[in-house]
Amino acid sequence: MKAITLDTFGNPDVMQLGEVPTPHVRPTDLLVRVHAAGVNRADLTHRTGGYGRPDFGDSPIIGLEIAGEVIATGADVVGYRIGDRVMGVVGGGAYAEIARIDYRMAMPIPALLDYVHAAAIPEVFVTAHEAMLHLGRLKSGDSVLIHAAAGGVGSAAVQLAYATGATVYATTEGSKSARVEHLGADVAIDYKQEDFAEVIASKTEGRGVDVIIDFIGAPYFSRNIASLANGGRLIQVGILGGGGEVSVQLEHILYRHLQIIGTVMKSRSQPEKHAMIRRFREHWLERFEGGGSLEPVVDSTFALARAADAHRRMESSENVGKIILTMGD
């Protein structure tokens, strides 16, 4: 089968299309003919060697998110059969014509969705649900600040927050504000022109927000703490702007009853990942059916052979929503 291979770490051009063996099917696996694969920030980390080895996870082949058709099932699989359309999160191996997926990490594709839009759902919407609703405990009537709201997880979080009945504040570039507002943001904050902490203080009359979903890291940390209401939860999902050390007055944590929670799907155990998929599926999957309130946001598509261009698109940070690889020409 054709797949993207990495002989070394580096810039996007280290990814090459080549022939590799088809993965064997284990007892709990579905073997899937991949029609579309989502591109994620974690793929860029994989490509540049950020995980320290080429086979971090279940496969040396890059990629975490697929949509396609089941062509074989393992002996212990329950609920799926050959011919089913499925989408889900894999432990590597998505940038390929055929991939295997633990059936507990798979979900049926809603009937009216094509494979491209299905591939834009699993990683970002599951991550957004886990961070904002499961860990952040966002509920109707709460307020949330979502950073990088035009990105994959950010755009999913905006939709889920709106559907939950929360007041949504979102940071993005000014050119993307209208799109973010269309997805459900009440207030779009141009992070290049405005200080989000000042906007939150003004809009909430100094109260702050109940939940913050942050992908940026150290540059935003102190302002995130200042923007939380008493009892607020900061959920750290990424460190695109840099990690390292941050400082905080412990009195703020103590007397304002704040919580700081980190979450990364890739490093969780398999049982934890299964639970994440189950929680999202039970709560939201039917909302992607015809007439539902949720929509996978696709920025652009690239043929598998153009994976390098897809990565360059993500590195430019110009995308609104997901970048998808397709297996056709």
Question: What residue segments make up the domains of the chain, in order of their start?
Answer: 2-121+268-326, 124-262
- Find residue 102's DSSP bridge partners: 29
CATH number (3.30.70.2080, 3.90.180.10, 3.40.50.300, 3.20.20.140) of 2-121+268-326 reads 3.90.180.10
pLDDT tens across the length of the chain (329 residues): 999 999 899 999 999 999 999 999 999 999 999 999 999 988 998 999 887 766 656 888 999 999 999 999 999 999 999 999 999 999 899 999 999 999 999 999 999 899 999 999 999 999 999 999 999 999 999 999 999 999 889 999 999 999 999 999 999 999 999 999 999 999 999 999 999 999 999 999 999 999 999 999 999 999 999 999 999 999 999 888 877 888 898 999 999 999 999 998 877 888 999 999 999 999 999 999 876 689 899 999 999 999 999 999 999 988 888 999 999 75
The number of residues in the chain equals 329
Q: According to the 3-state scheme, what is the secondary structure of 146-207?
A: ECCCCCHHHHHHHHHHHHHCCEEEEEECHHHHHHHHHHCCCEEEECCCCCHHHHHHHHCCCC
Q: State residue 32's pLDDT score.
A: 98
For residue 308, the SS3 value is: helix
pLDDT at position 301 is 97
Nearest 5°: CA angle at 218, between 213 and 224?
Answer: 45
Asked if domains 2-121+268-326 and 124-262 share a fold, the reply is no
Q: Say how far apart CA 17 and CA 248 lie, in whole Å.
A: 47
In the CATH scheme, what is the code of domain 124-262? 3.40.50.720
In this prediction, residue 55 carries a pLDDT of 62
CA distances from residue 157 to 90, 117, 151, 297 in whole angstroms, order as listed: 21, 17, 10, 12
Q: What pLDDT is attached to residue 242?
A: 76
Distances, alpha carbon 49 to alpha carbons 10, 34, 54, in Å: 7, 25, 7
Q: What is the pLDDT of residue 15?
A: 96
Beta bridge partners of 301: 324
pLDDT at 57: 64
